[in-house]
């Protein structure tokens, strides 16, 4: 499964991505998890199983949700507390719930 996190530049989520990868490995979940700039949404929609948005770009929610709906890709905004504490377990759970 491919989980994509989008933020303003694709850099602020890098620590969270690493913690999510560790959480997935600890649970024997085969997941490709990456962070990208929100500007890459079109290319990410073509391959991602789920997209999570950094809370700092929630102002783009309407346009991004519309694109994701058209691509039939689940999308959500990362829980702000989990994002702030870089809780990889919780954000991984959020992604998994969206896929099911």
Query: What mean pLDDT is predicted for residues 18-33?
Result: 97
Q: Pick the residue with more confidence: 10 or 71?
A: 71
Which residue out of 5, 6, 7, 53 is catalytically annotated? Answer: 7
- Please name each of the domains of the chain with its CATH number: 2-89 (3.40.50.2300)
Q: Is the pLDDT score of 10 beyond 70?
A: no
Burial of 76 per CB tally in 10 Å (0-12, 13-18, 19+): middle
As a whole number of angstroms, the distance between CA 1 and CA 86 comes to: 21
Q: How many angstroms from the chain centroid is the CA of residue 65?
A: 13
- Is 7 considered catalytic here? yes
pLDDT in tens, 29-85: 999 999 999 999 999 999 999 999 999 999 999 999 999 999 999 999 999 999 999
Q: Please tell me the pTM assigned to this model.
A: 0.93
**pLDDT at 11 (0 to 100):** 67
């Amino acid at each position: 499964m491919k989980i994509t996190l989008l933020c303003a530049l694709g850099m602020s989520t890098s620590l969270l991505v690493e913690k999510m990868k560790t959480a997935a490995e600890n649970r024997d979940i085969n997941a490709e998890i990456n962070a990208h700039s929100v500007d890459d949404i079109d290319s990410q929609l073509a391959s991602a199983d789920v997209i999570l948005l950094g809370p700092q770009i929630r102002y783009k929610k309407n346009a991004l949700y519309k694109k994701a709906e058209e691509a039939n890709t689940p999308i959500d905004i990362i829980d702000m507390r989990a994002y702030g504490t870089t809780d990889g377990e919780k954000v991984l759970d959020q992604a998994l719930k969206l896929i099911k």
